[in-house]
Amino acid sequence: MAHELMRQLPKERLIYLGDTLRCPYGPRSKTEVKKFTWEMVEFLLQKNIKMLVVACNTATAFTLTELQEGLNIPVIGVILPGARAAIKFTRNSHIGVIGTDGTIRSNAYPNALKSINGDIHVSALACPMFVPMVEQGILSGEKAKNVVEESLQVMKEDDHLDTLILGCTHYPLIKDTIQEVIGDYVTVISSSEETAREASTILEFRQLLYKGDRVARHQFFTTGELGIFEKIARDIFKTSLPDFRSVIIEKAVIS
C-alpha cells in the first residue's frame, strides 16, 4: 500500500504507521481492532495529516464508518476501492474475495459489492494461512504454491468466477502465486493499488493535491522492532525507491 501510494502520488508526503507490534489484526476481536485502530489514528492526527488511508482490511471492516463520521479529513478504506474495481472488471458478475478471518466474518466485501449491484454473486473465503506465510517471507516457490493451492481449492471449483479480490494488504506479495493457482482467466485485483488510485481521486476532488514540483520525503513509523521493520521496508522498496535511505524511519510509542 505504502509503495503504491508513493508510486501513484509521488509529490505527496506519506506518513506511514505500521502496527508491527500487534499485527496481525485478522484474528482479533472487533473491540480490540477498534481500540488499536483509534490509537494509531490519534498518533497520525498529531502529524497534521490531510487524509487518512486505513491500509488494513480488518481495520477498515470494523472502523471505517466511525472514522469517517468522527474525523474532519477524508478517510479512505481498502474495501470499497477493491469492490468498485471488481465491478468494473467482472464480465459475468461472479466475484470472489479472499481475506483474513476477521474480514471475511465481517461480510464487508459482499455488503459493499451488493450495495452497488444487488445481482453480484460473491464467493468469500478466509485464508488464515496466508498472512503467517508472508510474514515468514515465503512469497513464492513450491511451499508457497502448496499453501495457496490448498487454501484456494474450494474457490477453484467455482467455474464461473472471473474476478478475485485480494482482500488483505499482505496478499499482493503473493499475487503471482495466487494468479498461477486460480488461473489466467480470472482477473486478480489488489485492493492496495485500487485504494491508492482512489486516494488520488479524492485528493483531487477535494482540491487537496500538492500542486508544486517536488519529490516528497516520507516518514515511516513502527510500533515494533525498528531493525526488523527497516529491513523489510528496504527489501520492499529497494528497486522502486532508490533514495529510500533518505526516508525517516522511527519508533512510534502508542500510549
Is 130:147 a contact under the CB 8 Å cutoff? yes
Is 96:74 a contact under the CB 8 Å cutoff? no
From the list 122, 131, 168, 189, the catalytic residue is 168
Choice between 100 and 187, CB closer to a copy of itself: 187
What one-letter code names the amino acid at 26? G
- Residue 175 CB, nearest distance to a copy of itself (Å)? 14
- Is residue 127 annotated as a catalytic residue, yes or no? no
The set of cell numbers assigned to 158 is 467455482
> Omega of the bond prior to 110 within 30 degrees of 0, cis?
no
From the list 9, 14, 40, 56, the catalytic residue is 56
From candidates 46, 48, 118, 157, binder to a copy of itself by CB under 8 A: 118
- Is residue 56 annotated as a catalytic residue, yes or no? yes
- Residue 9 CB, nearest distance to a copy of itself (Å)? 7
13 binds a copy of itself (CB under 8 A): no
Distance CA 104, CA 124 (A): 7
Is 199:131 a contact under the CB 8 Å cutoff? no
The set of cell numbers assigned to 214 is 517536488
44 binds a copy of itself (CB under 8 A): no
**Can you give the binding site for a copy of itself, defined by CB under 8 A?**
8-11, 74, 80-81, 84-85, 87-88, 115-119, 193, 196-198, 200-202, 204-205, 209, 211, 213
